Amino acid sequence: MSGAITPHSAVPGANITVNEAELVRSICHESFYAFLQEFWYVVVPEKPVWNWHIEYLCNTFQKGAERVFRGEPKLHDTIVNIPPGTTKSTILSIMAPAWLHARRPDIRVLAASHTQNLTFELGRKCRMVEESELYRKVFPEVKPSHDQWTKSLFMNDAGGGRMACTVGGMSPVGFHAHFIIVDDPLDPQQASRVSEVELGMANNFMSEVLPTRKVDKDVTITWLIMQRLHQNDPSGFLLSKSKENIRHICLPAERSPKVKPVRLRRRYTEDGLLDPVRLSRSILDEAKIDLGEYGYAGQYQQHPVPRGGGMFKTERIEIDVPPPLTSKHWVGLCRFWDKAGTAGGGAYTVGFLMGRWRPAGAPKDGSDDNWWILDVVREQLDSGERERLIKAVTHRDGKRVIVGLEQEPGSGGKESAQATVKRLAGYRVRVVPAVGSKEERADEWSTQVNMGVFKMREAQWNITLVDEMRYFPFSAYKDQVDAGAGAFTILANLSRRVGGVT
């Protein structure tokens, strides 16, 4: 128990003596983990189970905090990816601010989460710790400022305190912190329905809002702790921007190559469990049923793609040199366009060139046809530049290649498709209405990819395409998959040879 003293009664601190209070004070000043043990019963009635990851997180947090206490520049910010039910909120959102005030009453903490009710509840419990009889006897110098002592903001007479805010909601304007703690910036209960707007809002909050709320940008530490919900959630977003200034702690429920730091893999049980009590095999099996393959992979395994991949088993695509495009054995060639109209941001305009190849002597029913991914053009352009690109690429491909266009719902989508068709007079153009979800449109194509019938020409664009396919439908962008699905639909429905005819 790291020297922690067992509480004397149901109300911690009720019968503690002066000497015992001094001992508790000394132990808690020395160790955040010991503080957590001492004050556990103030907010949690259940008997604690001290799995190894709890002490590890406490000690890691304390190492960074000691630098802040000394006014030294931070070494890095920290991202922790860990499953639900692992005491993360109790450690960081509730106990950490109270321990920081016990060490330095003037420390200011900004604590954020995804909803107002949650931030209020976490703030209320943190305030319970600092209002407890045990805390006041052990740390009498931490005196509440009664004119600022609410669930969302409570301050002390030394100028320290804890302010709660929400991602995209309650604003932290006017408050500057020594520590920023973000606990689940996205709602895990809405994981399967998280939208691009919500992702953008959360990522903007992390990258644009919070950096302005620091007492000293060189010293203030940010901790983000969350379960993974999406490839482009705040963890993925920040790690993609810069890994140099971020310490990444990743603790999946079951041992996997994702465990970071790597040395922590040996702390897992023999059968590969992070926490055999909180996250036993039976609990995990139930979570797999409740969440499904995708949900479990993200929220419990911290990798928002199942072990077997997403809809596309990209490892089954063979990289090879395609036959010349002039060959008569191409049953069909199609460049399908998924159009976007924003320059320098947002979705991409994608032109996806796919081919269907029938070897000499192969049956005409297409059962032995080979499928090729031949080229991908991908740009963020305004509508004018987009139309010029489509025309230029169509001219380069030649009239043998069918031009596919996705028609978005509504009159605007129809007019946009018609305008492009007019600009491509003389070429074979097929317009395909966007019916159903992107997942539904990609289903038949993914089935063929997973059967191992697709090959791909080696090129630089392979990287972003395979990455998007691997994560789909949870990929940050879906434009390439959408365009590929359109090309496949057109080529799969060809009823006769296209070796220069039709």
**pLDDT, tens digit (0-9, with 9 covering 90-100), for 408-448:** 877 777 888 899 999 999 999 999 988 888 888 999 999 99
Stated length of the chain: 502
Stretch 455-466: mean pLDDT: 95
0.75 exceeded by the pTM?
no
pLDDT for res 306: 61
Distance separating alpha carbons of residues 129 and 126, to the nearest angstrom: 5
Say which CATH topology domain 314-492 has: Nucleotidyltransferase; domain 5 (3.30.420)
Stretch 43-66: mean pLDDT: 96
Q: Assign 475 a pLDDT band (cuts: 50, 70, 90).
A: confident
Q: Assign 170 a pLDDT band (cuts: 50, 70, 90).
A: low
Partnered with residue 377 across adjacent β-strands are: 351
pLDDT for res 183: 96
pLDDT for res 9: 42
Q: Which long-range contacts (CB under 8 A, 24 or more apart) does 436-441 make?
A: 438/473, 438/478, 438/481, 438/482, 438/485, 439/311, 439/472, 439/473, 441/482, 441/485, 441/486, 441/489
Stretch 167-186: mean pLDDT: 88
> Where in the chain do CATH 3.30.420.240 domains reside?
314-492
- Contact call for residues 36 and 4 (beta carbons, < 8 A): no
Query: At residue 496, does pLDDT exceed 50?
Result: no
Stretch 2-11: mean pLDDT: 45
* Mean pLDDT of the chain, nearest integer: 89
Strand runs (DSSP E) across 358-442, as ranges?
A: 370-379, 402-407, 429-433
Please give the structure tokens belonging to residue 241: 């921007």
The alpha carbon of 37 is separated from its chain's Cα centroid by a whole number of angstroms, namely: 31
Query: At residue 121, does pLDDT exceed 90?
Result: yes
pLDDT for res 14: 60
Query: At residue 15, does pLDDT exceed 90?
Result: no
One-letter amino acid at 346 equals: G
Mean pLDDT is lowest, of 34-38, 64-68, 176-180, 255-259, for 255-259
Distance separating alpha carbons of residues 220 and 218, to the nearest angstrom: 6
- Contact call for residues 203 and 210 (beta carbons, < 8 A): no
CATH number of 51-299: 3.40.50.300
pLDDT for res 344: 63
For β-strands 179-183 and 108-113, DSSP reports them as parallel
pLDDT for res 351: 97
Burial class (CB in 10 A: 0-12, 13-18, 19+), 42: buried
* 194 phi, psi to nearest 5 deg: -65, 130
Distance separating alpha carbons of residues 50 and 85, to the nearest angstrom: 13
**More confident site: 306 or 15:** 15
Cβ-proximal residues to 319 (8 Å cutoff; 6+ apart), any chain:
455, 456, 457, 458, 462
- Contact call for residues 191 and 473 (beta carbons, < 8 A): no
pLDDT for res 295: 82
Most confident of the ranges 388-402, 439-453, 470-484: 388-402
- In the chain the first and final C-alpha atoms are separated, in Å, by 79
pLDDT in tens, 179-225: 999 999 999 887 667 788 889 999 999 999 999 999 999 999 999 99
Q: Residue written as tokens 């491909």?
A: 397
For β-strands 108-113 and 161-166, DSSP reports them as parallel
Most confident of the ranges 14-23, 45-54, 340-349: 45-54
Stretch 266-275: mean pLDDT: 96
- Contact call for residues 473 and 439 (beta carbons, < 8 A): yes
Distance separating alpha carbons of residues 91 and 460, to the nearest angstrom: 45
> Where in the chain do CATH 3.40.50.300 domains reside?
51-299
